[in-house]
Amino acid sequence: MTKIIFDATAQAGVRALISAGWGGLGSVSIPPHIFILGNVPHDWLFAEERVSAVVHHGGAGTTAVGLAKGRPTVVVPFFGDQGFWGAMIHKAGAGPQPIPHKELGVENLRDAIKFAVSPPAKQAAGRMADQIQNEDGVLRGVESFYRHLPLLNMRCDLDPERLAVWWSTEHCLKLSAFAAQALSDAKLLKMDTLDLHRSKDYDTQKQISDPVTGGAGAIFWTITHYYASIAEIF
């Protein structure tokens, strides 16, 4: 990867600041257009046009800082949501399509860097920076949180201002604690007939989706527990 970076930046005709730990550079000959950095705060490095563009793995934190400072971004995703952020940057015009790290080569990295330092990419990144600076992120986050709540399934059917915590199969009603107690006191229902109401269930255990996966899982479980079970005998 080190040679890819050196060659791609040379062919793109740019100078590059490279984090020493980013690609495991080791003891290599450093070309004149490369400067190796130690630990530098991203919010300082990306500000005031100290750099023309940034190339990184696409982590949410690094991506946010780069875009907030108006830096066109090349994303080389390794896992998780990194590819998503790269795709969103490309969609906004502030960077090229993300390059999966296994597909990284001199040619595609060179072309990506050339795109990132182009006027259209700089303009798009500038627009994103302006939007970020002018947006009330806390307010938008709170609004998004409430917008995605399943309110119809959270409210008591008898008193919508209260949270439903019980489900009555007999009456087909979602009930708040207050409503359930009031109905119980009025002898209209029995508390032991109620079930806990869940507005949304989350599956926290990965389920087996096909016979092959199930068989492989059973074999793996047998192998991993075989020796431990023998040891317990003694």
pLDDT above 80 for 219? no
Encoding tokens for residue 75?
């994303």
Give the residue from 47, 48, 51, 96 showing the smallest Cα distance to 75: 96
Mean of per-residue pLDDT scores for the chain: 88
Mean pLDDT of 194-212: 77
Whether 16 and 95 map to the same domain: the answer is yes
In which domain, by residue range, is 171 found?
A: 151-196
Whether 158 and 95 map to the same domain: the answer is no
**pLDDT, position 137:** 85
* Residue scoring higher pLDDT (59 or 225): 59
**pLDDT, position 197:** 94
Whether 58 and 124 map to the same domain: the answer is yes
The answer for residues whose C-beta is within 8 angstroms of residue 117's C-beta and 6 or more apart is 12, 14, 52, 53, 72
**pLDDT, position 107:** 95
Whether 82 and 159 map to the same domain: the answer is no
- Among 87, 109, 136, the domain-final residue is 136
Whether 155 and 71 map to the same domain: the answer is no
pLDDT tens string 92-110? 999 999 999 999 999 999 9
Whether 33 and 92 map to the same domain: the answer is yes
pLDDT above 80 for 217? no
Give the residue from 192, 217, 197 showing the smallest Cα distance to 157: 197
CA 226 to chain CA centroid, nearest Å: 38
pTM to 2 decimal places: 0.63
Mean pLDDT of 209-215: 68
Q: How far apart are CA 33 and CA 156, in angstroms?
A: 66
Q: How far apart are CA 42 and CA 37, in angstroms?
A: 12
Instruction: Specify if 212 maps to a domain.
Output: no
pLDDT above 80 for 233? no
Q: How far apart are CA 77 and CA 100, in angstroms?
A: 5
Q: In total, how many domains does the chain have? A: 2
**Residue 43 CB neighbour total at 10 angstroms:** 12
Instruction: Specify if 89 maps to a domain.
Output: yes
Give the residue from 104, 83, 119 showing the smallest Cα distance to 1: 104
Whether 28 and 52 map to the same domain: the answer is yes
**pLDDT, position 44:** 93
Mean pLDDT of 165-191: 94
The 3-state secondary structure of 128-191 reads HHHHHHHCCHHHHHHHHHHHCCCHHHHECCCCCCCECCEEECCCCEEECHHHHHHHHHCCCCCH
Instruction: Specify if 219 maps to a domain.
Output: no
Whether 66 and 172 map to the same domain: the answer is no
Mean pLDDT of 117-128: 96
Whether 126 and 14 map to the same domain: the answer is yes
pLDDT tens string 46-87? 998 899 999 999 998 999 999 999 999 999 999 888 999 999
Q: How far apart are CA 157 and CA 79, in angstroms?
A: 44
Instruction: Specify if 206 maps to a domain.
Output: no
**pLDDT, position 213:** 67
Whether 116 and 161 map to the same domain: the answer is no
pLDDT tens string 9-48? 999 999 999 987 654 555 678 899 999 888 888 999 999 8
Whether 189 and 106 map to the same domain: the answer is no
Whether 96 and 168 map to the same domain: the answer is no
